[in-house]
Amino acid sequence: MDTALDTTFAQVLRRSPGEVEFHQAVREVFDSLGPVLRKNPQYADAAVLERICEPERQIIFRVPWVDDAGRVRINRGFRVEYNSALGPFKGGLRFHPSVNLGIIKFLGFEQVFKNALTGMPIGGGKGGSDFDPRGCSDGEVMRFCQSFMTELYRHIGEYTDVPAGDIGVGGREIGYLFGQYKRITNRYESAVLTGKGLTWGGSLVRTEATGYGAVLFAQEMLKARGESLEGRRVAVSGAGNVAIYAIEKAQALGARVVTFSDSSGYVVDEDGVDLDLLKDVKEVQRGRVADYVDRRPRAEFVAGGSIWDVPVEVALPCATQNELTEEDAKSLLRGGVVAVVEGANMPTTADAVALLQESGVLFAPGKAANAGGVATSALEMQQNASRDSWSFDYTADRLTQIMVSIHDRCAQTAEEYGEPGNYVLGANIAGFQRVANAMLALGIV
Ligand code: GLU
């Protein structure tokens, strides 16, 4: 790395000890920025690197709630308002026991560049809690969300900070959060949250957008090499919102998705995933992937183990951070993988990314490939601002245009910097420059 990058990275390590995922996310971006800094000394002069690593504001709060047994429970809530050079802070809320400040900072940092790549007027932020909705009753989830919003409401707003969903936060949680915000503020401020239900300000296609977008990105990347998804064997890890709609779009484009997973193991279905069944298991019953096999006897459930041992041509990690390691990358290479597209945020470890790229595998980083979700959130904000609601087809077309333009922006930037086909470099540089230029224009703030 260049000296300015080295110095700033050392400062990040010193200021945020122990936040390993945050360090990893910063490192990955910094590894791409050397040539940009050499071309643009104005960034160093205005300390853009140091400023871009330091969130504008970090909020940590207590979330007390009462469970069904009448016991008082305490969780920790977070909102990291990372960068608002391009627009109001924008990014999801994650409810998962693994959540801590370092996780939210890594996600917020990624979000800044991802949102910049969409070309839409949104800054970056992220939040959440170490609350675990799994096993909680509906009433418990509601009381938790109400308590969480009772603190969060004072920090957010249509022009300030606009949260949405992430792991553990879907339509149900957004509903309870919006209800409490509306009640406290006495305002029907639709654009304060995205991912809303269709009858109360939500947008068509938002539910599908992250998964659809990742597959559209995969299709564009293959197209640039004269190939396509048609007839390909595909693995999609995870079984949440991103995974389900990645499977749906991949199947619509003629691919055969043979496997999906959750934290207990993975399912292999050589006949191709029965998506109606998977949706029923996950979205209606809120069950585990093993339940799928009970109702589909020819499919196999493998407890534990790695989904990346299943030989496929295209891999879409859509579960969580660091789920695809160097060992997994070796398995994928043995299985004949040609493309890896990140549907989740930072699911591939740095070693695994390096190995895949050295081996000539097409690799799409999440900040480009999974940007369809947040981009469609920005479309939801547009509809809210104009008190309009668009048709499915119109919104889906907008999403397609956005994914194609993100792909092209990354590809062109990589080419400009002498590394054609390096989507990691292209995404990092294109995202960084958009934010950095806005920061320069706004002065030292
Ligand atoms: N959590 C999603 C992401 O990682 C979506 C955020 C949003 O829609 O604001 O990009």
Note if 126 is an active site residue. Answer: yes
| Domains of the chain, first to last | 1-52 (no CATH), 55-188 (3.40.50.10860), 207-369 (3.40.50.720)
CA angle 145, 275, 260 (to 5 degrees): 75
Calpha distance 18→10 (Å, rounded): 13
Atom of ligand 1 nearest to the CA of 107: 4
Q: Specify the residue with its C-alpha closest to ligand 1, atom 9.
A: 91
Question: Is the pLDDT score of 45 beyond 90?
Answer: no
Pocket probe for ligand 1: among 156, 374, 402, the residue whose CB has the most ligand atoms within 8 Å is: 374
Q: How large is the average pLDDT for residues 88-99?
A: 98
Mean pLDDT of the chain: 97
Atom of ligand 1 nearest to the CA of 114: 10
- The CA 129 to ligand 1 mean position distance, Å, reads 15
With 0-12 / 13-18 / 19 or more C-beta atoms within 10 angstroms meaning exposed / middle / buried, residue 157 is middle
- The CA 373 to ligand 1 mean position distance, Å, reads 6
Question: Is the pLDDT score of 2 beyond 90?
Answer: no
Atom of ligand 1 nearest to the CA of 374: 8
Q: How large is the average pLDDT for residues 183-199?
A: 98
Question: Is the pLDDT score of 133 beyond 70?
Answer: yes
DSSP lists the bridge partners of residue 64 as 74
- pLDDT given for residue 332 in this prediction: 98
Looking at the chain, the whole-number percentage of residues with pLDDT higher than 90 is 98
Calpha distance 264→17 (Å, rounded): 31
Looking at the chain, the whole-number percentage of residues with pLDDT higher than 70 is 100
CB-based contacts of 148: which residues, under 8 Å, 6+ apart? 63, 77, 129, 131, 177
Q: Specify the residue with its C-alpha closest to ligand 1, atom 5.
A: 374
Integer angstrom CA distances of residue 352 from 57, 344, 346, 348: 33, 15, 11, 6
- Site residues for ligand 1, CB cut-off 6 Å: 90-92, 164, 166, 194, 345, 373-374, 377
- The CA 336 to ligand 1 mean position distance, Å, reads 31
- Cβ atoms of 123 and 82 within 8 Å: the answer is yes
- Cβ atoms of 5 and 428 within 8 Å: the answer is no
pTM recorded for the entire structure? 0.97
- For the stretch 281-299, pLDDT in tens is 999 999 999 999 999 989 9
Question: Is the pLDDT score of 378 beyond 70?
Answer: yes
b/e 4-30 (16+ beta carbons within 10 angstroms → b): bbeebbeebeeebeebebbbbbbebbb
- If residue 182 lies in a helix (H) or strand (E), which one and from where to where? helix 171-185
Give, as one character, the DSSP assignment of residue 445.
Answer: -
Question: Is the pLDDT score of 1 beyond 70?
Answer: no
Reduced to 3 states (helix: H, G, I; strand: E, B; else coil), residue 174 is: helix
Catalytic residue among 90, 105, 114, 126: 126
- The CA 272 to ligand 1 mean position distance, Å, reads 28
